[in-house]
């Protein structure tokens, strides 16, 4: 009907993804601190300063609350996803999926045609997430992680550039 707003216009998206700013570092550090072997605030800040780095956060619509982040680097047509994390109380709501989708679009626009990552072999939620987005297992690094000692699985996704 004329003048009637669509559902999307009436309801802001539950979450949206945007580039990470310096002001987000506190929230991002808090989210990261919920994970085993977390990066420190200093490591996260220095990652944000990397010339070849990219970092995005998911924000709860209209609240300004940062509930997840992803970061990585890319160089010479290859990308590497280094970290993705969602706050405990916001997991299983599709936020990591939105972060990965945004990242893959961004990398494709930048002309990056392959993205790599590695993860702990026992991290089944992350493995399922990456598989859902077409990452395929391409290698194994024995005893790569410490505390606890664990293998690393290497995954790769080919990206449609400019899509």
Ligand X SMILES: CC(C)(COP(=O)(O)OP(=O)(O)OC[C@H]1O[C@@H](n2cnc3c(N)ncnc32)[C@H](O)[C@@H]1OP(=O)(O)O)[C@@H](O)C(=O)NCCC(=O)NCCS
Q: In the bound complex, which residue of the shown chain has the CB atom lying closest to ligand X?
A: 96
Residue with Cβ nearer ligand X (61 or 125): 125
Question: Which structure tokens are listed for 127?
Answer: 């493995």
Closest separation in Å from C-beta 89 to ligand X: 10
| Contact assessment for residue 71 and residue 47, using Cβ atoms and an 8 Å cutoff | yes
| Contact assessment for residue 18 and residue 98, using Cβ atoms and an 8 Å cutoff | no
Closest separation in Å from C-beta 46 to ligand X: 17
Strand arrangement of the beta sheet that strand 150-158 belongs to: 15-19, 53-60, 66-75, 78-86, 114-120, 150-158, 136-145
DSSP three-state, residue 49: coil
Closest separation in Å from C-beta 2 to ligand X: 37
Site residues, ligand X (CB under 6 A): 35, 83-86, 91-97, 119, 123-126, 128-129, 132
Residue with Cβ nearer ligand X (110 or 123): 123
Closest separation in Å from C-beta 107 to ligand X: 17
What gap in Å lies between CA 95 and CA 1, rounded to an integer?
33
Residue with Cβ nearer ligand X (33 or 111): 33
């Amino acid at each position: 009907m004329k003048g009637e707003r669509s559902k999307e216009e009436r309801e802001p998206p539950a979450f949206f993804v945007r580039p990470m700013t310096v002001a987000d570092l506190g929230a991002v550090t808090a989210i990261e601190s919920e994970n085993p072997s977390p990066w420190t605030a200093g490591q996260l800040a220095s990652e944000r300063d990397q010339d070849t780095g990219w970092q995005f956060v998911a924000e709860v619509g209209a609240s300004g609350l940062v509930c997840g982040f992803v970061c990585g680097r890319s160089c010479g047509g290859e990308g590497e996803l280094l970290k993705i994390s969602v706050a405990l109380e916001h997991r299983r709501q599709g936020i990591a999926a939105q972060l990965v989708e945004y990242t893959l679009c961004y990398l494709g626009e930048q002309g990056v045609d392959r993205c790599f990552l590695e993860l702990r072999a026992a991290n089944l939620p992350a493995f399922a997430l990456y598989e859902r987005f077409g990452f395929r297992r391409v290698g194994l690094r024995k005893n790569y992680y410490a505390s606890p000692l664990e293998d690393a699985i290497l995954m790769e996704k080919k990206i449609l550039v400019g899509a």
